[in-house]
Amino acid sequence: MRFLSLLAVALFFTGCAGQGVGQDANAPIKIETSQMFVSVKNDSGMALNEVSVAIVPMGRTTLYTEYVGRMESAETRKIMLGDFNGRDGTPFSLRVVKPKAVQVKGMDVAGKAHEAEVGWK
């Protein structure tokens, strides 16, 4: 009986391990990840300039970034994972790199900096 309860607890923690950090429902920038895309939605109420999205790998050796530029209010962008590149131009690949999180940075038209980070699911 004890073995079954330990097995149930182990299965529970294994099922929750890959879910990452949740995001606040009222966050000004919403981020979703999938096997092919990173989706970013601007819910700040203002247009964002100089928006960049980065995939942070485990160990944080190098960031894989994609410059988005301007995002209007309530706009959603889907960025293919292959569009992200490291500093040396190396394209991002889930086969090679294990991602830890996604970061989004930008500045609204009033000059206020916005930053969001969500764990990879």
User: Which DSSP symbol is given to 6?
Assistant: H
Say if CB 113 and CB 42 are below 8 A apart: no
Mean pLDDT computed over 94-103: 95
Q: What is the mean pLDDT of residues 90-117?
A: 96
Please give the tally of structural domains in the chain.
1
Q: Residue 111 above 60 pLDDT?
A: yes
In a domain, 10, yes or no: no
pTM for the whole structure: 0.79
Q: How far apart are CA 59 and CA 33, in angstroms?
A: 19
Q: Is the dihedral of CA 38, 110, 50, 101 positive or negative?
A: negative
Structure confidence at residue 121 as a pLDDT band (50, 70, 90): confident
User: If you search the block for the tokens 């970013």, which residue do you land on?
Assistant: 40
Q: Provide the domain limits for residue 97.
A: 23-119
Residue 13 lies in a domain: no
Q: What is the DSSP letter of 72?
A: -
- For residue range 32-45, what is the model confidence (pLDDT) as tens digits? 999 999 999 999 99
Task: Check which CATH number belongs to the domain holding 73 and give it.
Answer: 2.60.40
22-74 per-position pLDDT tens digit: 688 889 999 999 999 999 999 999 999 999 999 999 987 899 999 999 999 99
With respect to residue 48, please indicate whether it lies within any of the assigned structural domains.
yes
Does the residue 2 lie in any domain? no
CB atoms within 10 A of CB 22: 9
